């Protein structure tokens, strides 16, 4: 039993897993996967196996300590993917971090908790023809997933006197007051000099013009996401709350005997039954086994699922579309367009021809979406920014010690606690199809960070800085994810092409974002004491003309790390999954993760993923008479 990990049912070696056959196999112990595994194993008569490629999250400080959130990127808990050269970014490649650890991306993300607009969900209901995905119908799942801990409740960690600006949750706000689920959510645990500037600037602009696009909001999660203010974040009692800490570990620690978790192990492909007798309709490929490996050349092992296999391996890592919206694992399993599979030397199990001349797909490319993000660092007139801490290991050690003692102080806070969502000006939408889900859904976002962000350049040795992150949260450009080769299976990184700024609408939208930032930073809260000194960064000597701004965009854009859409749900034949998230054209496989979103959520998507997964767990239970 050399592969036995911390818990009696957490395994690191496939030969130690006690069974070969389970009722359900969940691929990926990430954000969605842990919700599914935990909810399904609530039924003691069902055996559930979760297979995770990455590591155990236990004791990893950069995961636990909210302030260290940025340190996970590029580390051993990140898949460390990169895109192919992006044509409109001067052929730069850009990073694609994804969680390679229990909790998946919920363990390495920046913890912002935004539920999306009412319009987003109502649009999903319309696209799928399933009212169960509407805003109103999902209230019960929202409440099931999250518990709101206001800072005043966790006052032992952050005494309210040290952060008096945190407004209490509105008394009649259903998103905040009714939650009783395992994910802990709070607002800024520690005050920051930018909090007042952002909140006051938006209040001021709204006072000057009641129809201001920069309005202030006390809560972005009511169904109308527009506005500036404090964001909510997945921290509770001063530390990160992930799908591992909120769902998986409590289930394992409660000695749930019917739940087994295998880590350090990749699912390589899905397999059909050894005999066809269990499949009554042999014209439809039926998958009931997964083949797994711990290294590209290592031994392969098989596990089978009596009821179904749930793919929760994320929009990039597994469920990519090969031009036709077919998940990568399915492709590696021989389900896909015959000519593409043969080209890659994969035995064809089921020929699923390409979706061609579909206006929706040809407009948007291949349905891989992410939010383009423009990073701008500003040199500022302040000695309170967090740069001095980044330069001083002794100060860091002191703050870490304080966090370790009682989960208080700066390290209990996430790097960005204030942000704003905005609509584009109406004029910019004339004559174009609005990419946002509806009037309560934004097009643009600004996130404020009180330090230099060293994504492109190292922190200068002296000086103080802030960073503004401008994002297009309703982009029109879309890209594709394709298999690089059949060799190496899921050990070979797929070709990720976001096609950033591929649609000129997005260039115009980002130009508007730059102009909006100039307007916002010209208000008194920012201009007093000449707070903003200058922009720093590549190609930034002058941002006067449109051409200079576009050049700056090409040099300084990455994404917000929110890939979605590669196995979209919908009611059309070309949609990879139906509204119950079952993969079309095969039996035995369901997808539950960010890849099923038909459009990109105009928000940070983890809350959307948790809500999706909570409903998906009930759909699975219904289909297998567990409810």
Which residues fall in the annotated binding site?
Answer: 101, 267, 605-606
How far is it, in rounded angstroms, from Cα 237 to Cα 488?
42
**Closer to ligand FAD by Cβ: residue 14 or 365:** 14
For 171, how many CA atoms within 13 A lie in the half-sphere containing its CB? 0
CA distance 584 to 224: 33
Dist CA 344 CA 130 (whole Å): 37
C-beta of 269: minimal distance to ligand FAD in Å? 9
Q: Compute the least distance from the CB of residue 447 to ligand FAD, in Å.
A: 9
Please pick, from the candidates 594, 600, 617, 619, the single residue that binds ligand FAD as defined by CB under 6 A.
Answer: 594
**Nearest residue to ligand FAD, using CB?**
30
481 CB-near residues (< 8 Å, 6+ apart): 316, 320, 321, 322, 328, 366, 368, 494, 495, 496, 497, 566
Binding site as annotated, residues for FAD: 101, 267, 605-606
H helices of 113-192, in order, are 118-128, 139-145, 174-177
Number of residues that bind ligand FAD (CB under 6 A): 42
If one asks whether residue 318 binds ligand FAD (CB under 6 A), the answer comes out as yes
Determine if 184 is a binding residue for ligand FAD (CB under 6 A): no
The stretch near ligand FAD (CB under 6 A) out of 108-116, 151-159, 479-487, 548-556 is: 108-116
Nearer to ligand FAD, 29 or 158 (CB): 29
- Tokens in use for 337? 């367009």
For 76, 309, 500, the CA distances from 80, given in Å and listed in that order, are: 8, 26, 19
Rounded least distance, CB 482 to ligand FAD, Å: 16
Site for ligand FAD in 220-279 (CB under 6 A): 266-267
Contact 331, 346 (CB under 8 A): yes
Active site residue 604: yes
For the chain, give me the number of helices (H) and strands (E)?
17, 27
Residues 400 and 402: their CA atoms lie apart, in Å, by 5
Residue 29 touching ligand FAD (CB under 6 A): yes
Helix (H, G, I), strand (E, B) or coil at 253: helix
CB 242 within 8 A of CB 38: no
Pick from 5, 10, 37, 53: which binds ligand FAD (CB under 6 A)? 53
Residue 394 Cβ vs ligand FAD, minimum distance, rounded to whole Å: 28
Q: From start to end of 135-288, where are the E strands?
A: 146-148, 183-185, 227-230, 232-233, 235-236, 239-240, 259-262, 266-271
What part of residues 388-417 is at the interface with ligand FAD (CB under 6 A)? Answer: none
Q: Is 448 in the site for ligand FAD (CB under 6 A)?
A: no
Counting contacts by CB under 6 A, is residue 147 touching ligand FAD? no
Helices 193-208 and 504-520 cross at an angle (nearest 10°) of 100
Q: Which of residues 60, 62, 65, 99 is near ligand FAD by CB under 6 A?
A: 99
Asked if residue 73 binds ligand FAD (CB under 6 A), the reply is yes
- Can you tell me which of 37, 63, 111, 422 binds ligand FAD, judged by CB under 6 A? 111
Residue 303, strand partner residues: 290
Site membership for ligand FAD, residue 317 (CB under 6 A): yes
User: Interface with ligand FAD includes 56 (CB under 6 A)?
Assistant: no
In the bound complex, what is the minimum distance in angstroms from residue 50's beta carbon to ligand FAD?
A: 9
Round the CA-based radius of gyration of the chain to a whole number and report it.
24
Using CA atoms, how far residue 420 sits from 120, 231, 507, 521, in Å, is 18, 9, 20, 13
**Is there binding between residue 554 and ligand FAD (CB under 6 A)?**
no
562 as an active site residue: the answer is yes
* Contact call for residue 581 and ligand FAD (CB under 6 A): no
Among 39, 98, 118, 256, binds ligand FAD (CB under 6 A): 98
Return the number of other C-beta atoms located less than 10 Å from residue 338's C-beta. Answer: 15
Among residues 465 and 561, whose Cβ is nearest to ligand FAD? Answer: 561
Q: Among 249, 264, 464, 562, which one carries the catalytic annotation?
A: 562
Residues numbered 479-498 forming contacts with ligand FAD, rule: CB under 6 A: 490
Q: Are 311 and 620 in contact (CB under 8 A)?
A: no
Closer residue to ligand FAD (CB): 233 or 556: 233
**Closer CB to ligand FAD, 256 or 562, in the complex:** 562
Tell me: does residue 562 bind ligand FAD (CB under 6 A): yes
Residue 312 sits in the site that holds ligand FAD (CB under 6 A): yes
51 touches ligand FAD by CB under 6 A: yes
Quick one: 411 or 505, whose CB is closer to ligand FAD?
411
- Contact status: 106 vs ligand FAD (CB under 6 A): yes
Report which secondary-structure segment, H or E, holds 399.
Answer: helix 393-406
Tell me, rounded to whole angstroms, the distance of Cα 178 from its chain centroid: 24
Owner of token pair 């979209």: 568
606 touches ligand FAD (CB under 6 A): yes
Q: Tell me which residue has tokens 């720093």.
A: 536
Q: Is 569 a binder of ligand FAD (CB under 6 A)?
A: no
Kindly tell me which of 319 and 556 has the beta carbon lying closer to ligand FAD.
Answer: 319
E-assigned strand segments in 349-489: 350-351, 372-380, 418-422, 444-449, 465-472, 480-482
**Which residue shows structure tokens 């859409």?**
565
Return the number of the residue (490 or 512) whose C-beta is nearest ligand FAD: 490
The binding site for ligand FAD (CB under 6 A) comprises 27-33, 51-54, 73, 97-100, 104-106, 108-112, 266-267, 312-315, 317-318, 490, 561-562, 593-594, 604-607, 609
Which residues are identified as catalytic? 562, 604
């Amino acid at each position: 039993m050399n592969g036995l990990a911390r818990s009696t049912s957490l395994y690191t070696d496939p030969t130690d897993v006690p069974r070969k056959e389970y009722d359900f196999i969940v691929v990926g112990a990430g954000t969605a996967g842990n919700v599914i595994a935990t909810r399904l194993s609530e039924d003691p008569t069902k055996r559930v196996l979760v297979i995770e490629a990455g590591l155990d999250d236990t004791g990893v400080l950069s995961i636990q300590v909210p302030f260290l959130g940025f340190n996970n990127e590029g580390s051993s808990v990140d898949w460390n993917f990169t895109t192919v050269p992006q044509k409109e970014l001067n052929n730069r490649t850009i990073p694609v971090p994804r969680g390679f650890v229990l909790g998946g991306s919920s363990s390495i993300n920046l913890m912002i908790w935004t539920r999306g607009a009412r319009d987003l969900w109502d649009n999903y209901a319309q696209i799928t023809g399933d009212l169960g995905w509407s805003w109103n119908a999902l209230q019960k799942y929202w409440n099931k997933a999250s518990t709101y801990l206001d800072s005043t409740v966790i006052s032992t960690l952050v005494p309210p006197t040290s952060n008096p600006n945190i407004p209490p949750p509105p008394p009649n706000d259903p998103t905040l007051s009714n939650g009783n689920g395992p994910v802990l959510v709070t607002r800024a645990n520690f005050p920051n000099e930018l909090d007042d500037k952002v909140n006051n600037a938006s209040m001021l602009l709204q006072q000057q013009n009641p129809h201001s696009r920069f309005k202030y909001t006390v809560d972005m999660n009511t169904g109308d996401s527009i506005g500036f203010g404090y964001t909510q974040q997945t921290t509770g009692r001063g530390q990160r709350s992930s799908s591992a800490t909120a769902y998986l570990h409590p289930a394992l620690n409660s000695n749930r005997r019917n739940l087994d978790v295998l880590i350090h192990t990749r699912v390589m492909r899905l397999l059909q039954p050894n005999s066809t007798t269990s499949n009554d309709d042999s014209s439809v490929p039926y998958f009931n086994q997964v083949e797994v490996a711990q290294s590209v050349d290592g031994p392969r092992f098989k596990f089978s699922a009596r009821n179904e296999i749930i793919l929760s391996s994320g929009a990039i890592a597994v469920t990519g579309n090969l031009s036709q919206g077919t998940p990568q694992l399915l492709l590696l399993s021989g389900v896909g367009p015959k000519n593409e599979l043969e080209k890659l030397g994969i035995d064809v199990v089921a020929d699923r021809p390409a979706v061609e001349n579909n206006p929706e797909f040809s407009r948007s490319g291949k349905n891989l979406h992410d939010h383009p993000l423009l990073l701008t660092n500003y040199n500022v007139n302040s000695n309170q920014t967090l740069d001095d801490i980044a330069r001083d290991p002794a100060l860091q050690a002191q703050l870490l010690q304080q966090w370790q003692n009682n989960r208080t102080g700066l390290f209990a806070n996430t790097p960005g606690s204030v942000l704003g969502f905005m609509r584009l000006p109406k004029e910019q939408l004339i004559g174009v199809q609005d990419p946002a889900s509806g009037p309560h859904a934004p097009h643009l976002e600004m996130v404020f960070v009180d330090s230099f962000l060293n994504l492109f350049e190292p922190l200068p040795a002296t000086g103080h800085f802030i960073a503004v992150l401008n994002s297009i949260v309703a982009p029109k450009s879309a890209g594709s994810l394709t298999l690089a080769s059949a060799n190496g299976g899921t050990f070979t990184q797929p070709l990720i092409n976001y096609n950033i700024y591929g649609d000129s609408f997005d260039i115009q939208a980002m130009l508007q974002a730059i102009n909006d930032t100039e307007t916002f930073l010209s208000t008194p809260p920012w201009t007093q004491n000449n707070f903003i000194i200058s922009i720093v960064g590549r190609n930034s000597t002058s941002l006067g003309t449109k051409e200079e701004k576009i050049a700056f965009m090409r040099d300084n854009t990455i994404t917000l790390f929110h890939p979605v859409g590669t196995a979209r749900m919908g009611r059309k034949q070309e949609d990879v999954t139906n509204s119950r998230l079952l993969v079309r054209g095969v039996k035995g496989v369901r997808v539950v993760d960010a890849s099923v979103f038909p459009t990109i959520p105009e928000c940070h998507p983890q809350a959307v993923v948790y809500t999706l997964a909570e409903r998906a767990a009930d759909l699975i239970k219904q289909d297998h008479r567990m409810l």
